[in-house]
């Protein structure tokens, strides 16, 4: 992980993720052309904000932590580039679940 990513701290309930690379071969070993490989919906959490504030002013922590593997929606997130690497910002409520 680059120094810029380590210095980046998301605000509120935002989560910075690094998406997995698109699969270029099938389980049987067939090589897929680049235009047929769909965007991955799995990612690794790189950085997590402190959480959001509820109506009483209490901080509610995020449901995921750094290093978790998560399932993302097909569309959404904000694409950002840090030190030439591509990352995405999502809200905690946009994350569909964790993978174990």
Whole-prediction pTM value? Answer: 0.79
Question: What residue ranges of the chain have pLDDT lower than 50?
Answer: none
> How many angstroms separate the CA atoms of 29 and 2, rounded?
33
pLDDT tens digits along 3-27: 766 778 888 889 999 887 766 676 7
| Helix, strand or coil, per DSSP, at residue 67 | coil
Nearest Cα residue to 87 out of 95, 77, 97, 96: 77
State which H helix or E strand residue 3 sits in. helix 3-7
């Amino acid at each position: 992980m680059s120094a810029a990513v380590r210095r980046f701290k998301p605000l509120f309930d935002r989560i910075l993720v690094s998406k997995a690379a698109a699969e270029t071969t099938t389980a049987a070993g067939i090589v897929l052309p680049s235009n047929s490989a769909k965007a991955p919906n799995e990612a690794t959490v790189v950085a997590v904000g402190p959480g959001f504030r509820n109506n009483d002013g209490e901080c509610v922590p995020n449901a995921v932590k750094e290093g978790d593997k998560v399932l993302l929606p097909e569309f959404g997130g904000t694409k950002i580039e840090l030190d030439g690497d591509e990352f995405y910002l999502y809200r905690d409520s946009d994350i569909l679940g964790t993978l174990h």
